Structure 1
Amino acid sequence: MGKGLGVSGSLFQKIVISYTYVAIWIFLSFTVIIFNKYILDKKMYNWPFPVSLTMIHMGFCSSLAFLLVRVFKFVEPVAMTRELYMSSVVPIGALFSLSLWFSNSAYIYLSVSFIQMLKALMPVAVYSIGVLFKRETFKSQTMANMVGISVGVAIAAYGEAKFDAWGVILQLGAVGFEATRLVLIQILLTSKGISLNPITSLYYVAPCCFVFLSIPWVLIEYPQLAAKATGTADYDFVVFGMNSACAFALNLSVFLLVGKTSALTMNVAGVVKDWLLIAFSWSVIMDRVTTINLVGYGIAFLAVCYYNHAKLQGMKAKEAQKKASQTDEEIGLLEKNQIRDDDGLGRKADSQA
């Protein structure tokens, strides 16, 4: 009985720890999104320089990642040759910088709630690009699911009270770049047996992003910042320091969440976070959320849930097939050994006779 209580207590402890990781990730992701919106929105902090903000994040994350990897030895760096870095990390870094730049820019033009609705298109983009790069198999059922997500998002966009075409283009561009980055990670790194956790990802990718972002910064934002250096573009070190620290902490929480739970848990947590952001955007920021918005996002939400469920079932089927294959190999090996043993016994009996 004591043993049963011990097992039950251990299971309860694991559940509590898992939910704690989920809560931390939701809180930090929620905080970073609202914080970025606060800084970039012209009606709030009024610092509409998304490239500069993203560069601050990348510079901060690069510095801390260097300390954690090289100085404190918190994680070990991976074997990274110059050729591999140029052929794999640089393209991924370029796409990541574009994704961050475009997504942060969208906060200037769109509400937080509508941006979360547009982000529901991520599975559509990842699947479509995966099919294009032959990482995914085209299936009519899955494509129908993708159409369902797209229709839901289109309805939500139709019902958006403050629709801004340029903001939508920026956010859709961010989704496209991020989806391409995720697919390229599978092609350029994972297929070569290289796995980067969030800290080593920042260690290798963040400096690359910083360099890429410096190009649009010099061309677009530096002249504006220089012109406003007389006082209309004040830089608050406390605000931007806290914002950068939150962005870095979010990456660490991803490391904990994925490492200690599962990808499915993260997907479910992401859905909870999206609904919380929509509710916060409506009730606190006072963004207008229409009934058509909610109906459209509800359709997209159900389609995304079905897609995640189908992926989970597919993963379970592959795992079961893998175990069955291993079992068949083990049975075959045992039968082969048994035949050898029987043959050996038969020879021994013949020699004794």
Structure 2
Amino acid sequence: MTQVMKNSIPWPTIMVVISWYTSNIGVLLMNKYLLTNYGYKYPVFLTMCHMMLCSVFSYVGISVLDIVPLQSVQSKNQLLKICGLSVVFCFSVVCGNVSLNYIPVSFNQAIGATTPFFTAVFAYAVSRKREAWVTYCTLLPVVAGVIIASGSEPSFHLFGFIICVASTAARAFKSVLQSILLSSEGEKLNSMNLLLYMAPIAMLVLLPATLLMEGNVIRITIELAGEDFRIIWYLLLSSSLAYFVNLTNFLVTKYTSALTLQVLGNAKGAVAVVISILIFQNPISMIGMLGYVLTIIGVILYSETKKRYT
């Protein structure tokens, strides 16, 4: 039996999945710690740091380490499409980080699980893409679970909830736009090359937003580093994890499949909920937990119907 398991799931695949889980959950917990427990309330600047290090690591990974072949931008039109995706991407990540100021990671993840619902809505609204009626039915428990969890969430914060929903919707909108805008053979970019071009653009978009919304954050961070140098290590760790989320996401798809990635993602959300509750000790009601479970069941059913009817 052990030999069969070894043959079925190679060790590189297991290590990639573990790394993906670690980086995904790690960046969430690190951001939550920075923004609330540590008191570093600058989510826009934090996101800009993420994009800055993603730009550097993407260049090193592709141009120096040759993790994947470099794909060049073919036209000005393609560059404009990438810029549009970068703006939506920025909005999604910033909103996600802002929401962590107000709601616990567990609730953030429950809301994030509704991504398939928003993806289906935007796919129909933008390109009139219809799913099987059974697929739409599976989205009902996804939404119902979040409604139940929201109604009984002890740490519920209306603004945090709205901004987290906005982040989830923007993430779904980006995936739909990406599939439409970069659909032709000459314009397709793998996720690592897309990040290589998107991260610097996102950084340029976030710089004026940071200066406008968070004022003297750079001076404040330098002064804070003089008192407590750990803040630099925290920012570097958070930003590094943000890059490795994208890298391991790509590697999991490479070693397995897009569908496996989706299934593993469902389980990741549940693991993140449990770990965040254990670490941050945020209160959660039994009804709220049932809401989370209902949402996860809905997402699993959605994945299964997509696999069957696509």
Tell me if both proteins adopt one fold, taking TM over 0.5 as the criterion: yes
Consecutive aligned runs of 4 or more in structure 1 exceeding 6 Å deviation: none
Aligned to 1:106: 99
Cα distance, 1:76 vs structure 2: 2.2
Q: Does 1:16 align with 2:10?
A: yes
Measure, in 1, the Cα distance between the counterparts of 2:158 and 2:217: 24
Cα distance, 1:31 vs structure 2: 0.9
Measure, in 2, the Cα distance between the counterparts of 1:67 and 1:129: 35
Aligned to 1:76: 69
User: Structure 1 residues 14 and 217 mapped into 2: Cα distance closer, same or farther (>3 Å)?
Assistant: same
Aligned to 2:304: 309
Q: CA-to-partner distance for each residue in 1:35-71, whole Å, 9 max, x for gaps?
A: 1111111xx1111101101111101110121223334
2:109 alignment partner, one of 116, 121, 124: 116
Aligned to 2:150: 157
Counterpart secondary structure, 2:60 = helix
Measure, in 1, the Cα distance between the counterparts of 2:44 and 2:228: 16
For 2:57, give the aligned amino acid: L
Q: Is the 8 Å Cα contact of residues 55 and 200 (structure 2) preserved in structure 1?
A: yes
Unmatched segments (≥5 aa) in structure 1: 316-353
Counterpart secondary structure, 1:247 = helix
Q: Does 1:141 align with 2:138?
A: no
**TM-score scaled to structure 1, two decimals?**
0.80
Measure, in 2, the Cα distance between the counterparts of 1:242 and 1:278: 21
For 2:6, give the aligned amino acid: F
Cα distance, 1:125 vs structure 2: 0.2
Q: Please identify, of 64-73 and 280-289, the stretch whose mean Cα deviation from structure 2 is larger.
A: 64-73
Counterpart secondary structure, 2:101 = helix
For 2:125, give the aligned amino acid: L
Measure, in 2, the Cα distance between the counterparts of 1:209 and 1:231: 25
Cα distance, 1:289 vs structure 2: 1.3
Aligned to 1:341: none
Q: Is the 8 Å Cα contact of residues 88 and 174 (structure 2) preserved in structure 1?
A: yes
Aligned to 1:35: 30
Q: CA-to-partner distance for each residue in 1:92-151, whole Å, 9 max, x for gaps?
A: 101000000000111110001101111111000000000011252154433332233111
Measure, in 2, the Cα distance between the counterparts of 1:115 and 1:228: 26
Counterpart secondary structure, 1:222 = coil
Measure, in 1, the Cα distance between the counterparts of 2:89 and 2:50: 13
For 1:15, give the aligned amino acid: I
Counterpart secondary structure, 1:196 = coil
Aligned to 1:126: 119
For 2:284, give the aligned amino acid: V
**TM-score scaled to structure 2, two decimals?**
0.91
Which of 1 and 2 has greater Rg?
1
Measure, in 1, the Cα distance between the counterparts of 2:142 and 2:224: 46
1:266 alignment partner, one of 254, 261, 267: 261
User: Aligned residues: percent identity?
Assistant: 26
Aligned to 1:339: none
Cα distance, 1:226 vs structure 2: 4.5
Aligned to 2:48: 55
Equivalent positions of 1:160-179 (< 5 A) are 160-179=153-172
Equivalent positions of 1:223-242 (< 5 A) are 223=216, 226=219, 231=224, 236-242=231-237
Q: CA-to-partner distance for each residue in 1:216-255, whole Å, 9 max, x for gaps?
A: 2121012455578654996622221222222222222112
Q: Please identify, of 239-248 and 90-99, the stretch whose mean Cα deviation from structure 2 is larger.
A: 239-248
Cα distance, 1:12 vs structure 2: 2.4
Aligned to 1:96: 89
1:190 alignment partner, one of 183, 186, 208: 183
Counterpart secondary structure, 1:27 = helix
2:202 alignment partner, one of 203, 206, 209: 209
Paired residues, what number? Answer: 307
User: Structure 1 residues 190 and 135 mapped into 2: Cα distance closer, same or farther (>3 Å)?
Assistant: farther
User: Structure 1 residues 48 and 136 mapped into 2: Cα distance closer, same or farther (>3 Å)?
Assistant: same
Measure, in 1, the Cα distance between the counterparts of 2:64 and 2:295: 45
Counterpart secondary structure, 1:287 = coil
